Amino acid sequence: MQPIKKLTRILELLADEEHCLFTLDDLHGALPEQKRGALKALVSRAEKDGMLRRICRGIYLYPKVASSNGLLLYHTAARLRAAEFNYISLESALSDVGVISQVQINWITLMSSGRSTIVSCGAFGTIEFIHTKRRPESIATELVYDQRCHLWRASVTLALKDMNSTKRSKDLIDAEATNEPV
């Protein structure tokens, strides 16, 4: 069977609304007979044919089954930094609970045990990872797991502490909505 047809069949079997993002390693696991260079060429061809869509370096979307629930950036962030401790915080966490009324559209902010970086996901938006030295066990009571996003989420108190520690602008914070000192 031709590699592109085999890739199509595998994606149709594996992908669903919840699992529509793939890394090159995922695809290599599904097509182990493909050498790395040949796999990259195959993925490039799948992109050109519209079967896959590149989100950012190393992450591909199978749009045929992708949901339009607005969580693609969060799911991408979870896949990008799967080996790191990450949690939704700063402006993203505060905006979601109404403490900040305005945030950039298609821009999410996460604290990460990995290095700080901004990842452009083209038309999909931007993911900002901000390094933290905080250990999971020291803030566990301030985190809840957000199943929809596939990430941990900071409480308002922790997100405000993160805003202070990272010296982010607090101009848009509605102090009355926080029930916390800003």
Per-residue pLDDT band for 180 (boundaries 50, 70, 90) equals low
Q: 3-61 adopts what CATH topology?
A: Arc Repressor Mutant, subunit A (1.10.10)
Looking at the DSSP assignment, which residues form a beta bridge with residue 119? 127
Domain boundaries defined on the chain: 3-61, 72-175
How does the average pLDDT of the chain come out, rounded? Answer: 91
Distance CA 27, CA 8 (A): 11
Per-residue pLDDT band for 98 (boundaries 50, 70, 90) equals confident
As a whole number, mean pLDDT of residues 134-151 equals 96
Helix (H, G, I), strand (E, B), or coil: what is residue 57?
coil
Question: Which tokens in the block code for residue 20?
Answer: 């529509």
Question: Which tokens in the block code for residue 28?
Answer: 């290599």
pLDDT in tens, 49-77: 999 999 999 999 999 988 777 899 999 99
Q: What is the pLDDT of residue 178?
A: 66
Helix (H, G, I), strand (E, B), or coil: what is residue 154?
strand
As a whole number, mean pLDDT of residues 94-108 equals 86
Per-residue pLDDT band for 105 (boundaries 50, 70, 90) equals confident
Q: What is the pLDDT of residue 115?
A: 97
Q: What is the pLDDT of residue 151?
A: 97
pTM equals 0.89
Question: Which tokens in the block code for residue 123?
Answer: 């038309």
Q: Is the pLDDT of residue 179 over 70?
A: no
Who's near 45: CB < 8 A, 6+ residues apart?
4
Q: What is the pLDDT of residue 50?
A: 94
Q: Is the pLDDT of residue 104 over 90?
A: no
> Where are the strands (E) in the chain, listed by range?
21-23, 53-56, 59-61, 86-88, 107-112, 117-120, 126-131, 143-146, 151-154
